[in-house]
Amino acid sequence: MGRMDARKFFRSFRYAAKGIVRTARTEQNFRFHLAAGTAVVIAGALTGLSAAEWSVILLLIAGMLSLELMNTAVERVVDKASPEWHPLAGQAKDAAAAAVLIYAAASAVIGCVVFLPKWWNLFN
């Protein structure tokens, strides 16, 4: 990798960090998912998850945050492309939000599958 390529490569990390910070500042749902992910990591540390369970949990958290970032990107692009209300613009935004909802619901179910048996055994 040449010197210019390296600069470009590392600059892309700066842009990504800027996107995360801006989204965290402006999007309530992203902040909620950050807090929920933090709570799950703490619960996992206290519960004693296996390496495989940690892998699943961390993939779910990363996927949720990534999907929320993509939802925000879709909303921004749609708002720019269609400043006035249009049914297709609304459908695009609704579909992106639905993708987040489906992933969040599946993540919650998987979280229950991972955590509840451990907690059941702990308290019984």
Q: Which residues are catalytic?
A: 68
Rounded Cα distance, 110 and 58, in Å = 12
Residues 6+ apart with CB under 8 A from 99: 67, 70, 71
Please give the backbone phi and psi of residue 111, each rounded to the nearest 5 degrees, phi first: -60, -40
**CA dihedral sign of residues 35, 64, 60, 12:** negative
Please give the backbone phi and psi of residue 76, each rounded to the nearest 5 degrees, phi first: -65, -45
